[in-house]
Amino acid sequence: MSIIFHEKTKVFHLQNDSISYIMMVLPNGQMGHLYFGKRIHDREGFENLLETAPRPMSSCTFEGDKYFSLEHVKQELPSCGTGDYRSPAVEVKQENGSRISDFQYHSYRVESGKPKLPGLPATYTKDKGEAETLVLNLYDSVTGLWAELFYTIFAQGGILARSIRYCNKGSQPVQLERAMSLCLDLPDCDYDWVQLSGAWARERHVKERRLAMGVQSIGSMRGNSSHEHNPFLILKRPLASEQQGEAIGFSFVYSGNFLMQAEVDAHENARVLVGIHPDTFAWYLEPEESFQTPEALMVYTDSGLNDMSQTFHRLFQKRLARGYWRDRVRPILINNWEATYFNFTEDKLVQIAEKAKECGVELFVLDDGWFGARNNDFAGLGDWRANTERLPQGIAGLAERISQLGMKFGLWFEPEMVNKDSDLYRSHPDWILEVPKRANTHGRNQYVLDFSRKEVVDCIFEMMAEILRKAKVSYIKWDMNRSITECFSKSFGSERQGEIFHRYILGVYDLYERLTSEFPEVLFESCASGGGRFDPGILYYAPQGWASDNSDAVERMKIQYGTSMCYPISSIGSHVSVTPNHQVYRSTPLHTRANVAYFGTFGYELDLNKLTGEEIEEVKTQIAFMKEYRHLLQFGRFYRLKSPFEGNEMAWMAVSEDRKTAVVGWYRMLNVVNDRFTRVKLQGLDKDFCYEISQDGSRHYGDELMNLGLVTSDATAGQTPEDEIPCTDFESRLYILKAVEV
C-alpha cells in the first residue's frame, strides 16, 4: 500500500496489492482523473492519459487554446457552469446569485489510517498500516471556500473510500446546493448497470440493463434510503459473471436521501456521481462553518461479482459494524408479532416463550403494542412507558420472567414517530415535521418527529434509556414505519430548511450513538417497515437489519440473494414464519422456510404452541443445526451459485475460512416431472480436499465438485417411484460438506 506524489508531473498514485487510482493537477489548477482499476506499476509520467482535442462547439478554458475543455476532461471535483455541461459534483450559490466556482489544487497531506467523520457513520481502521488517507486541499479564491477531498486506500482488497469536507474561509455566507461525495469519470461506457430495487415486501431485487447515452440513476427523496432503491450500484463489463470479469461496486454509507447516477456523454465517457440527493438538499455555510459529506465506497474487481461481494462483506463485517456483537454469532430468537399482533397479555407472551425455550430458542422479542394506549396503530407512539394493563409489572417484570426461563429478552421501539393520540404529542404538538398552514400527510396513522432538534432526540433518548437501565433488555428492534413528508422544521430559519432532511438523519445517528455507547452489549436490529432503511449507514450502529416484512420463503430467496450482493449474511434478519404466509398467503414446507432463513440471523415469527408435535421436533432439529453451523453461515465466505431471477432453481453456499466445511443450499420453486438430471458447480472449496456429502455419504474431491458439480437430481428426473417420498413445490435441500482423510 502506498500513496505516491510525483512533484514534477503533479501526479498522485494510490495503490495496494489489487488496485491503482491515479489523478493529476490539471493545467487550470483543478484536479483531473486518470485511472481507476487493476494495479499497475508506478512511473513518473501518466500525463499521457490526459487526452485533449480541438472538438467542435466546445467551451475552452484558456484564451487561444482550442484543446483544453472541461467538457472532455475527466475530473475529481467537477463544478457548475464553466465549460463542463455534464452534471457537477458541487454547486455553490453565492450572495450575488452566481453558482460558478473554481476549486484549484493548493496542497496535500497523507495520514496514516483513516480519520473519523464527525457525526457520521463510516468505515474505520483498528491497526496501524491497515490504510492510508490522502487529503487534497482545494481552494476557490473568489468565495474563500475550501474543499478537502479524502481518499482512503486500504492495504488489502480493491477498496477506496471517499468523502469531502467544505469549509467557508471567506467573509460572506455561501449555500451548498449540491455536495456529492464521489465523482468517477470513466473512459468508456461499456458496462452493464446493476441495481437493487423493488418496493415494500419485495426489496432489493437484482435489476440489470445496459449503460447507454444519457443519464440513468437510482435514488430516494423519502427521507430514508427506501424500499424502492438501495444505495448500491454495480457497473460490470457485459461478459462479467459471478466468477470472472471486471466490475466496480459503489456503496453509499448513508441512510437518508441519496442519488447514484451515471451519465454517458456524446463521446461515450461515463461519469458516476454518488451522494446526498441534491433535489432535497441545501446547506448554508456562514464564515468558518463547515460541512462534511457522507462516505462513498468503491470496490474494483477483475474476478467477478462474487469477489466484489465478498470484499464488501469483509469490510462491512469487520470495519463498518462495531462493538460487542460485531464478531459474535447472532442469538436465535422468536418474535411475537405475527403470532399475536396487538392481541396479547403477559401470560400469553410467557407461554410462547416457554415453548420456544423448550425448542432451544435463546431470545424472546416483544414487538409492537406494549406501551402507552397502544391497542392498535392509531395511538401510543411516543409514549415509551409500559401499558400496565397488559404488563402488570412493566417491561422489567416481563423481562425478569423471560430471564427466569433461561432466555434473553428483546423489545421493539419506533423512536422516530408519534401518534397524535399520545401524551407526547399532546404535550409537544410542535415537535413533528410539518409546514405551517399546510395539510400534513400521515402514514400508518403516525407522524414524524423532528429529529433535527436536539431537545426532541434528548427526550426520546431519556425514555428509552430509562427502560434499558431498569430492565434486562438484550436486544432492540428499531422500526421506522413511514417515510418523511412536509419536511419543515419550526426551529430553523428559511435559509436552512434545505438542511432538515440531512439534520434529521444526523439526529437518528446521534440517538443510535448515545444508546449503543451506554448499552454496548445490547444487540440492535434496524427495521423500517422491513427493508426500508437497510443500508451501510445504519449497519455502523446496528450490525443486523430486518431484511423485509415479507417472510415468505420463496420471496425471501430473491430478497436475500439480492441483499448479498453488498451486505454480509450476518446482517440479514431472516425468520421462519407461519403458513399460509401472512404476506402472500403461500404455504411452503417447514424445512424450506428454515433452509432459506439459515442464510441470515435466523429466528421464528410464529406461535410454536400452534405447531403439531411432529413439527415441534422438526423445529428442535432446525435450531440444533443452526447452533452448530451458524458461525460458518454468518461469517464464512458466501457464494451465489444459481440466481432465483434466472430460472426455477436457486443455489448458494457458505464455506469456512479453512475450507474444510461448507453448507450448500439448493432450492426449486415449482415441481416438475420427467425433468433433466441436474447438478450445481460449487465454489470456494480446496481442490485437493476430499469432501464427504451429508446427503448420501459419497466422497468427492474439491476440484470435481467445482468443475463437474454437485449432483442435485432427484425423483423428478422421471416418474416418482412408489417407495419414495414425492417432491413438492418449493422443495429445498441442504448439503453439508466436510473434508475427510482419504
Q: Which residues contact 90 (CB under 8 A, 6 or more apart)?
A: 77, 78, 79, 80, 101, 103, 147, 164, 166, 176, 178, 179, 180
CB atoms within 10 A of CB 361: 24
* φ and ψ at residue 741, rounded to 5 degrees: -75, 140
Q: What is the bridge-based pairing of β-strands 576-577 and 603-605?
A: parallel
Closest by CA position to 669, among listed 618, 616, 716: 716
CB atoms within 10 A of CB 51: 11
Sign of torsion over alpha carbons 423, 424, 428, 430: negative
H helices of 586-729, in order, are: 590-597, 613-635, 702-707
User: What angle in degrees, to the nearest 10, is found between the helix axes of 613-635 and 590-597?
Assistant: 20
Q: What is the bridge-based pairing of β-strands 290-292 and 159-168?
A: antiparallel
The residues facing 227 across adjacent strands are: none
| Annotated catalytic residue within 140, 383, 479, 552 | 479
Q: Is 17 a catalytic residue?
A: no
Closest by CA position to 387, among listed 362, 422, 353: 422
| Annotated catalytic residue within 84, 185, 383, 549 | 549
The residues facing 701 across adjacent strands are: 690
CB atoms within 10 A of CB 701: 17
Q: How far apart are CA 488 and CA 498, in angstroms?
A: 9
Q: Is 42 a catalytic residue?
A: no
User: One-letter amino acid identity for 54?
Assistant: P
Q: How far apart are CA 468 and CA 386, in angstroms?
A: 12
Is residue 715 within 8 A of residue 726, CB to CB? The reply is yes
- What would the 3-class secondary structure string for 318-345 be? HHCCCCCCCCCCCCCEEECHHHHCCCCC
Buried b or exposed e, range 481-499, using 16+ CB within 10 angstroms:
bbbbbebbbeebeeebebb
Q: How far apart are CA 532 and CA 198, in angstroms?
A: 10
Distance of CA 344 to the CA centre of its chain: 34
User: One-letter amino acid identity for 309?
Assistant: S
Closest by CA position to 220, among listed 248, 196, 250, 194: 196
In 336-465 the beta strands, taken as DSSP E runs, fall at: 363-366, 408-413, 417-418, 447-448
Q: What is the bridge-based pairing of β-strands 544-546 and 523-526?
A: parallel
* Grid cell locating 64: 487561444
Q: Which residues form the catalytic set?
A: 479, 549
